[in-house]
Amino acid sequence: MSSRPPLTVLLASPRGFCAGVDRAIQIVERAIAKYGAPVYVRHEIVHNRHVVDRLKALGAVFVEELAEAPADRPVVFSAHGVPKSVPAEAKSRQMLYLDATCPLVSKVHVEAQRHFEAGREIVLIGHAGHPEVVGTMGQLPDGAVALIETVEDARAFAPRDPANVAFVTQTTLSVDDTAEIVAALRQRFPAIAAPHKEDICYATTNRQDAVKAAAARAEVLLVLGSANSSNSVRLAEVGRRSGARAYLIDDADGLDWAWVAGVRTIGVTAGASAPEVLVQGVIARLAERFEVTVEESDAARETVTFKLPRAVA
């Protein structure tokens, strides 16, 4: 008989890489294979330290601004999207650039442009300073987009024409928080133009649903992801709201044994930018002290894939 206490690990599914992240990483890998190192990447390609470190080892050089990249080497734009000024600058310097913006983020850019051309005042629901928000606001002239982060912001927003307002959202928000903000906007502006299809992406929604299902049964939830990953931070928040003690950790080294003392059921998931190897690392670490039984909890099946740019396809 094992002297280790039993522990059921509920693996939330889906978890980990989404199609947009997978595509962005492939673009960097293929650019290095095709053009040789170094390939420059403007901003972290996705918000995960392990992914970034692995790509650095392959020959990627990460910079915050295009000015830090030489004109004679390829540059990749991150999955979060960039302001229009960035490709314009790359063209003016005759740089070879590859745009790894997630197609679902690009869809939000197109929507914002459409509302602007229709003369509507645009509200963007999102987090100030997040690269995706910077990129979306940067699609249009300064002042064309008002950022709303909270229900309070929605109540305080004062448009020029309350009958001519539209909203778009960041793709990685909390589904529940965003619904509250949208409800506050709709209450004040019944005619507000909404996205044709929700802007919060399928992967964010699916991972939050999977966490709710796991957290309903688990005492503790471990979320694999980096602290600067919006969707990973949201998963931990959703887990806490669903009744679990939730912790965001980069990898197995972030596990504190005090969190799982006396616990019989633990949920494990990973943000959309976190590789599956990190999840398996946590399970292996737990198995050092517990008799682990793994259960996969299926919330949804994901079959989405996105085409690569022609330059690296």
- Residues catalogued as catalytic: 132
Radius of gyration of the chain (CA): 21
Q: Are 138 and 82 in contact (CB under 8 A)?
A: yes
Please provide residue 141's backbone torsions phi and psi, each rounded to the nearest 5 degrees.
Answer: -60, 155
The Cα–Cα gap between 181 and 136 comes to 19
Q: Is the peptide bond before 38 cis (omega within 30 degrees of 0)?
A: yes
CA distances from 292 to 7, 266, 282, 289, 313 (A): 5, 10, 11, 9, 41
**Helix axis angle, 230-241 to 202-215, nearest 10°:** 30
Strand partners, 297: 12
State the sign of the Cα–Cα–Cα–Cα dihedral 165, 136, 90, 99. negative
H or E segment and range at residue 42 = strand 39-42
Please provide residue 240's backbone torsions phi and psi, each rounded to the nearest 5 degrees.
Answer: -65, -45
Please provide residue 22's backbone torsions phi and psi, each rounded to the nearest 5 degrees.
Answer: -55, -45
The Cα–Cα gap between 175 and 198 comes to 10
Q: Are 286 and 280 in contact (CB under 8 A)?
A: no
214 sits in the region (left: phi over 0; alpha: psi -120 to 50; else beta) called alpha
